[in-house]
């Protein structure tokens, strides 16, 4: 029986999928000589270093701690010596504090971490232990937002989680790290989902997967038969289905109210990578020190998926994919719709890096912006029901408060509007500026 393909209702676009590395199994990337571990790898306050220059560290050792409410721990991804703690280049060219470690070739793991590959099915930890372990292992949302997972799991009083929704959508073109993870670590993933279900005390978990990953859907559906209350839901291919509000609408048909969090409609959303990291943390006591990163692009000789330790410079990943293509014009951290263009390849991989996309010179420059022709295509593709053409005009006139009245703060920055605009207007650029100013206005009112 063919499952009906659900999707979200308002808006959405269909960029070219270009999933060039979908059939490439995950390879382990060799260690770098030096690792740069930025202290601000999550949403919220940056962590404070707990080691100093000259300290010897083991793999998995706690090296920075999160002190405020929304903060996360950082662990050393390598064995080695702390070379310095200083400001280092981030992907935007600004300098942020980071810990630099001179890497030893062989791992000496911190005590208590299970490094074996055997799959541990039984979940012995209770709810509180699960959340504490997730916190101490520094697990953050690996979908890109890097929100500390333990904070997400602490449901506020008066609200109840009814559904755990797992994001296996990977709607960004080119990226395939989640896809490979679902294919190669399916069972561990499902155990991780069960752990999250226990932590949230939910009845049902739904794993949303877009229909362009049929092998993953079939594989997980088969495995999920052995797990209780986990439902695999294939979804129609449409960008930005991976946005949590759109995913919730598509899977359980509930709309998160404007300005509120998903828990408001009884849902908690988590990425498949996060669920896998939760498995490793709770079952193996292994902190978050590595993740899968896709290296891809039309000119890349060997599009690949690598298992990378945090702190590895991006240049190393490019070298492992057989080098920077000749006519590369732009290097993007992430996917082509929401990723950030980076200034240099010396920057390291961080917890939120899902892919490195190398664009050819011809594709890197924008076309000339013309007048808005009022075609309203931007309005029809906006998944949040906004009017980007109007917000653009308001932002150019610096009418930030009027923009807030037109709900600019609801914008999820998916880029569908700018993608579609026939006049090549810089819609998302101004929307981001407007949101930043709007945030300042909101903070100044308090």
Residues 227-256 that bind other proteins (CB under 8 A): 245, 249, 255-256
Q: From the CB of 68, what's the least distance to other proteins, in Å?
A: 23
| 410 sits near other proteins (criterion: CB under 8 A) | yes
Instruction: Find the binder of other proteins among 105, 429, 440, 442 (CB under 8 A).
Output: 429
Sole residue written with tokens 């011809």: 362
355, 335 contact by CB (below 8 A) = yes
Q: Select the span of 21-29, 125-133, 207-215, 425-433 touching other proteins (CB under 8 A).
A: 425-433
CA distances from 412 to 20, 235, 341, 382 (A): 27, 20, 18, 10
Both tokens of residue 267? 């849902």
Site for other proteins in 118-137 (CB under 8 A): none
| 359 sits near other proteins (criterion: CB under 8 A) | yes
Instruction: Find the binder of other proteins among 12, 15, 138, 186 (CB under 8 A).
Output: 15
Q: Select the span of 21-29, 54-62, 281-289, 418-426 touching other proteins (CB under 8 A).
A: 418-426
Q: In what order do the strands lie in the sheet with 74-75?
A: 48-49, 62-65, 74-75
Q: In what order do the strands lie in the sheet with 328-333?
A: 26-28, 304-309, 290-296, 355-360, 328-333, 340-341
Both tokens of residue 419? 């993608």
Q: Select the span of 30-38, 64-72, 98-106, 404-412 touching other proteins (CB under 8 A).
A: 404-412
Which of 282, 291, 220, 260 is CA-nearest to residue 41?
291
C-beta closer to other proteins: residue 133 or 212: 212
| 344 sits near other proteins (criterion: CB under 8 A) | yes
C-beta closer to other proteins: residue 145 or 375: 375
Instruction: Find the binder of other proteins among 35, 137, 318, 372 (CB under 8 A).
Output: 372
C-beta closer to other proteins: residue 34 or 379: 379
Instruction: Find the binder of other proteins among 71, 208, 389, 404 (CB under 8 A).
Output: 389
CA 91/CA 340 separation, integer angstroms: 8
Q: From the CB of 356, what's the least distance to other proteins, in Å?
A: 13
| 418 sits near other proteins (criterion: CB under 8 A) | yes
Q: Select the span of 71-79, 270-278, 311-319, 427-435 touching other proteins (CB under 8 A).
A: 427-435
C-beta closer to other proteins: residue 27 or 315: 315
Site for other proteins in 293-332 (CB under 8 A): 328-332
| 257 sits near other proteins (criterion: CB under 8 A) | yes
CA 191/CA 194 separation, integer angstroms: 5
C-beta closer to other proteins: residue 37 or 342: 342
CA 131/CA 153 separation, integer angstroms: 7
Dihedral over Cα of 146, 149, 153, 157: its sign: negative
CA distances from 116 to 80, 109, 184, 239, 245 (A): 22, 12, 16, 38, 37
Site for other proteins in 164-183 (CB under 8 A): 173
Site for other proteins in 43-102 (CB under 8 A): 87, 92-95
Q: From the CB of 439, what's the least distance to other proteins, in Å?
A: 11
Instruction: Find the binder of other proteins among 85, 224, 386, 391 (CB under 8 A).
Output: 386
Q: From the CB of 353, what's the least distance to other proteins, in Å?
A: 15
Burial of 94 (0-12, 13-18, 19+ CB in 10 A): exposed
Q: How many CA atoms lie within 13 A of 385 on its CB side?
A: 9
29, 312 contact by CB (below 8 A) = yes
C-beta closer to other proteins: residue 234 or 336: 336
CA 168/CA 142 separation, integer angstroms: 11
Q: From the CB of 419, what's the least distance to other proteins, in Å?
A: 5
6, 233 contact by CB (below 8 A) = yes
Q: Residues in contact with other proteins, total (CB under 8 A)?
A: 77
C-beta closer to other proteins: residue 52 or 95: 95
C-beta closer to other proteins: residue 121 or 374: 374
């Amino acid at each position: 029986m063919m499952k009906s393909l659900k999707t979200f209702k308002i808006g959405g676009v269909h960029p070219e999928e270009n999933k060039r590395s979908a059939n490439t199994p995950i390879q382990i990337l060799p260690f770098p000589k030096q690792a740069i571990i930025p202290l601000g790898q999550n949403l919220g306050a940056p962590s404070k270093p707990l080691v100093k220059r000259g300290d010897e560290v083991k793999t998995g050792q706690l090296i920075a701690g999160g002190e405020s409410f929304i903060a996360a721990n950082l662990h050393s991804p390598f064995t080695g010596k702390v070379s310095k703690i200083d400001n280092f280049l981030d992907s935007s060219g600004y300098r942020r504090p980071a810990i630099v470690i001179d890497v030893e070739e062989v791992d000496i793991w911190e005590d208590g971490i299970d490094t074996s590959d055997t799959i541990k099915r039984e979940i012995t930890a209770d709810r509180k232990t699960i959340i504490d372990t997730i916190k101490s292992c520094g697990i953050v949302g690996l979908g890109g937002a890097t929100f500390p997972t333990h904070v997400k799991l602490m449901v506020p009083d008066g609200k109840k989680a009814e559904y755990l929704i797992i994001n296996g959508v990977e709607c960004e073109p080119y990226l395939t790290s989640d896809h490979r993870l679902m294919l190669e670590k399916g069972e561990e993933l499902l155990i991780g989902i069960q752990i999250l279900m226990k932590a949230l005390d939910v009845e049902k978990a739904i794993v949303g997967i877009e229909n362009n990953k049929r092998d993953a859907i079939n594989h997980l559906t088969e495995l999920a038969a052995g797990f209780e209350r986990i439902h695999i839901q294939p979804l129609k291919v449409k960008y930005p289905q991976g946005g949590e509000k759109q995913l919730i609408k598509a899977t359980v048909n509930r709309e998160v109210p404007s300005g509120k969090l998903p828990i408001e409609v009884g849902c908690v959303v988590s990425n498949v990578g996060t669920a896998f990291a939760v498995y490793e943390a709770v079952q193996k006591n292994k902190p978050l020190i590595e993740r899968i990163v896709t290296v891809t692009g039309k000119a890349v000789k060997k599009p690949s998926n690598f298992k990378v330790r945090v702190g590895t410079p991006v240049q190393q990943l490019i070298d492992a994919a057989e080098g920077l293509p000749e006519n590369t014009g732009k290097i993007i951290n992430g996917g082509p719709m929401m990723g950030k263009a980076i200034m240099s390849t010396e920057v390291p991989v961080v917890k939120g890096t899902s892919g490195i996309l190398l664009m050819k010179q011809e594709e890197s420059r924008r076309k000339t912006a013309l007048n808005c022709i009022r075609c309203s295509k931007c309005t029809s593709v906006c998944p949040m029901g906004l009017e980007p053409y109007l917000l653009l005009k308001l932002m150019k006139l610096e009418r930030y408060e009027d923009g807030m009245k037109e709900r600019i703060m609801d914008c999820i920055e998916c880029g569908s509007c700018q993608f579609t605009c026939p006049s090549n207007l810089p819609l998302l650029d101004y929307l981001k500026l407007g949101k930043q100013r709007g945030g300042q206005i909101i903070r100044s009112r308090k």
